[in-house]
Amino acid sequence: MSRTDKPILVFQTDFTYAEGAVSSMYGVVKRVDRELEIFDGTHYIPQYDIWSASYRLYQSLPFWPEGTIYVSVVDPGVGTSRRACAAKTASGHVVVTPDNGALTHLARHIGITEVREIDETVNRYPATRGTSVFHGRDVFGYTAARLASGIISWEEVGPAYPVDEIVVLPIAQPAVEDGVVTGIVDIIDPNFGNAWTNIPLAVFEQAGIAYGDTVHLRVHHGAELVFEGSLPFCRTFGDVGKGELLAYTNELMNISFTMNAESIVERYGIGYGSDWLVSFEKVG
């Protein structure tokens, strides 16, 4: 198998670059096969935040070539009975990850066609069998490298188990009722402070909301009302002045809301996840 025939490896973790964890994972990959290409997704997922790991896979994986192998390691249960797995997606990618909810968004939006539990008696870096706290290096990175290099086949990853046994986190479906569009804040943009919902543009269109309309937005954290206000639905940030509110369509074709050149997340303390509920209603 030539270098160009071998799958690309993309890594995402919550490790940061503050110490040598990422470097050691990459070292193990290169020990397996020096020809393998490694790229970074992100290593700044918030600590232990499985929801964000799931979302970031959904956000970026579809834009990589078919056959790419993602290694996603946000693993607060490392060394416990949670499964270590490799999953094939309907888009033709493979994700090597703890089966702890990290496949939630891919299962919902793209589809998982097959999943295998990693056989650690075979697919574990041999020099580290005395520790159970760094499976990112010793199991996930190592298994992904062996699979990408052709040392093991897909079947040799480990035994298959039913796709419906994959651990998934609860996500409320977007809906329209009496002109009110509901959903959740699915994630935030940590650099710019934008809030991204799980509401597709098509759902806004179903509710009769078009660019240039004004919408009334409510954001609840559980039963607590965190934000309420009216804002224009715009194509881009420059359609309003600096610091002004707007709703817009993000790069995943979902509805988002923010303040132009400022952070709505910091201003109002907006978070994300299944208990961050949003509703939009056309004004006038």
Question: Do the beta carbons of residue 272 and residue 51 sit within 8 Å?
Answer: yes
> What was the pLDDT predicted at 127?
86
* pLDDT (mean) for 144-173: 97
> What is the DSSP code string of the chain?
--GGGSPPEEEEES--SSSSHHHHHHHHHHHH-TT--EEEEES-SPTT-HHHHHHHHHHHGGGSPTT-EEEEE--TTTTSSSPEEEEEETTS-EEEEESSSTTHHHHHHT-EEEEEE--TTTSS-GGGTT--S-HIIIIIIHHHHHHHHTSS-SGGG--EE-GGGS-----PPPEEETTEEEEEEEEEETTTTEEEEEEEHHHHHHTT--TT-EEEEEEEETTEEEEEEEEEB-SSGGGS-TT-EEEEE-TTSEEEEEETTB-HHHHHT---STTEEEEEEE--
Q: Is the pLDDT of residue 3 over 70?
A: no
* pLDDT (mean) for 219-226: 98
In the chain, what percentage of residues exceed pLDDT 70? Answer: 99
Question: Do the beta carbons of residue 118 and residue 138 sit within 8 Å?
Answer: no
Q: Over the stretch 66-115, which tens digit does the pLDDT of each residue have?
A: 999 999 999 999 988 899 999 999 999 999 999 999 999 999 999 999 99
E strand or H helix that includes residue 254: strand 254-259
Mean pLDDT rounded to a whole number for the chain: 96
The larger pLDDT score, comparing residue 136 to residue 37, is at 37
* pLDDT (mean) for 183-201: 97
Per CATH, the number for 175-282 is 2.40.30.90
Question: Do the beta carbons of residue 137 and residue 24 sit within 8 Å?
Answer: yes
Q: Is the pLDDT of residue 1 over 80?
A: no
Q: Report domain extents, the chain.
A: 3-165, 175-282
Question: Do the beta carbons of residue 247 and residue 217 sit within 8 Å?
Answer: yes
| pLDDT band per the 50, 70, 90 thresholds, residue 2 | low
E strand or H helix that includes residue 200: strand 194-200
Joined tokens for residue 164: 């419906």
Alpha helix (H) residue ranges in 193-269 = 201-206, 264-268
Q: Which of 38-52, 56-70, 126-140, 221-235 has the lowest mean pLDDT?
A: 126-140
Q: Over the stretch 6-45, which tens digit does the pLDDT of each residue have?
A: 999 999 999 999 999 999 999 999 999 999 999 999 999 9
Backbone dihedral region for residue 63 (phi beyond 0: left; psi -120 to 50: alpha; all else: beta)? alpha
Amino acid code (one letter) for 41: G
Query: pTM score, two decimals?
Result: 0.95
* pLDDT (mean) for 232-240: 97
CATH class given for the domain over 3-165 = alpha beta
Q: Is the pLDDT of residue 121 over 70?
A: yes
Handedness of CA 142, 148, 151, 153 (dihedral sign): positive
| pLDDT band per the 50, 70, 90 thresholds, residue 177 | very high
| pLDDT band per the 50, 70, 90 thresholds, residue 4 | confident
> What was the pLDDT predicted at 60?
97
